[in-house]
Amino acid sequence: MVIGIDASRAVTTRRTGTEAYAYFLIRALLPLAIQRGHHVKLYFNQPPDHPLSNATHEVIAIPFPRLWTHLRLAAELQRNPPDLFFTPAHVIPFTYRGTSVATVHDLGYHYFPEAHTSQQVRYLKWSTRHNARRSKFVLADSEATKRDLIAWYGVDGAKIHTLYPGRDASLHPVADPQLAKYDLPSPYFLYIGTVQPRKNIPLILKAFAAVADQLPHHLVLAGKMGWLSDDALAPLANFPDHIRARIHLPGFIDDSDKADLLSGATALLFPSLYEGFGFPILEAQACGTPVITAHNSSLPEVAGNAALYVRTDDRHDREFATVDTGAEIVELRDAMRQIVTDRALRETLIGRGYENVQRFSWEKSAEKLITLFENAVS
């Protein structure tokens, strides 16, 4: 079988969750596909700087400035159609009629449309519906996303396969974390991910402000600035100087530094409003860092019994003066305090975290995926 894969998002220099999914899944899939006698074509919108794998595969680079998927990739698939086309992080070309499999990562834009531009929302609705209709099988990152696909788009549940992403196996606890590169003090609570309102940054900021006078900790919000990042950071304007001085924004964290940053943290704060999966949870658990997260969407599926859960059913638009009246703010504040003072809880969460991450493997995901490919063309 000839398998064609849109690998354009897999070679992004600064990978976020979607790009990491494409990179690690393709890298695990290639040797397995070759071993089972399949030929793999990887399509790129520019020549890749490095190979994704040592396994034999065909690289097809098709540079094009705009509408690459629906024009240049579509034309290549028309001229030389594979037996199956897979898009792990994008959309099936509009004109493509061959057998295909597509991944839908999350439907958060239905719950929080204001976290995206109106143009993005329109495109996401169209592309999700298009992928669901055209695919022989649809991959969902979690059971939560599968339920959303059924509820919002009426997709037949038998067509949807939950394929959990794996974890970065290179991440592990670092005994002596090196933090000088980012000029970070210790101790600190850590958020890592794109800085945007959907990640509940306002809640993190307000809860930290509520506990800052009781603990010696700093707060590190690590990640690139996203859509409406100014809104996400708006509570800072109401904080006194001594609290603002303990909040740090080091920007995007290189993959080579993640283990140090995570290992040095007292806890990962990840009370996102909605997630299709939630890679930072597994990254923290792999580094022996306790996790405080939200009981919504896919997060309980990912974190299992190895996290401290808080509610996130409030929009957090109160003035800072009323910070202590918000139930969700109080709950996160108390969880932060508990994770510092309750050593037994910390050790329990760390131990459970090590066990939990063993459930997730890119090799397991690739094995399931190649079987789905073979069933799709049989």
Q: What pLDDT, on a 0 to 100 scale, did the predictor assign at position 198?
A: 85
Question: What is the per-residue pLDDT across 137-168, written as a single tens digit (0 to 9) for each?
Answer: 999 999 999 999 999 999 999 999 999 999 99
Residue 58 CA to chain centroid, in angstroms? 28
Question: What is the per-residue pLDDT across 101-113, written as a single tens digit (0 to 9) for each?
Answer: 999 999 999 988 8
238 and 150 belong to one structural domain: no
Q: Rounded CA gap, 142 and 17, in Å?
A: 14
Q: How many CB atoms lie within 10 A of CB 182?
A: 17
Query: Please, what's the b/e burial string for 249-271 (b: 16 or more CB within 10 A of its CB; e: otherwise)?
Result: ebebbeeebbbbbbbbbbbbbbb
Average pLDDT over residues 264-279: 95
159 and 204 belong to one structural domain: no
The answer, yes or no, to whether residue 219 has pLDDT greater than 50, is yes
DSSP state of 141: S
Average pLDDT over residues 200-223: 95
Q: Is the dihedral of CA 19, 24, 30, 33 positive or negative?
A: negative
Q: Rounded CA gap, 62 and 6, in Å?
A: 11
How many domains would you assign to the chain? Answer: 2
Pairing of strands 188-192, 160-162: unpaired
Query: Kind and range of the H or E element at 292?
Result: strand 291-294
109 and 8 belong to one structural domain: yes
* Residue 174 belongs to some domain of the structure: no
7 and 144 belong to one structural domain: yes
16 and 103 belong to one structural domain: yes
352 and 203 belong to one structural domain: yes
Cβ within 8 Å of residue 122, ≥6 positions away: none
Average pLDDT over residues 69-73: 93
> Looking at per-residue confidence, does 65 or 91 come out higher?
91
281 and 214 belong to one structural domain: yes
Q: What pLDDT, on a 0 to 100 scale, did the predictor assign at position 64?
A: 84
Average pLDDT over residues 10-35: 89
Question: What is the per-residue pLDDT across 75-127, written as a single tens digit (0 to 9) for each?
Answer: 999 999 999 999 998 899 999 999 999 999 999 999 888 877 889 899 999 99
**Secondary structure (3-state) at 95:** coil
Predicted TM-score of the model (pTM): 0.91
190 and 330 belong to one structural domain: yes
Q: What pLDDT, on a 0 to 100 scale, did the predictor assign at position 39?
A: 97
159 and 202 belong to one structural domain: no
Q: Rounded CA gap, 318 and 295, in Å?
A: 22
**Cα-flanking dihedrals φ and ψ of residue 127, to 5°?**
-65, -35
CATH code of 344's domain: 3.40.50.2000
269 and 187 belong to one structural domain: yes
Q: What pLDDT, on a 0 to 100 scale, did the predictor assign at position 318?
A: 41
Cβ within 8 Å of residue 130, ≥6 positions away: 91, 92, 94
- Of the candidates 277, 369, 377, the residue with the CA atom closest to the CA atom of residue 29: 369
Q: Rounded CA gap, 29 and 373, in Å?
A: 11
Q: What pLDDT, on a 0 to 100 scale, did the predictor assign at position 319?
A: 40
Domain that holds residue 157: 2-166+361-377
Q: What pLDDT, on a 0 to 100 scale, did the predictor assign at position 151?
A: 96
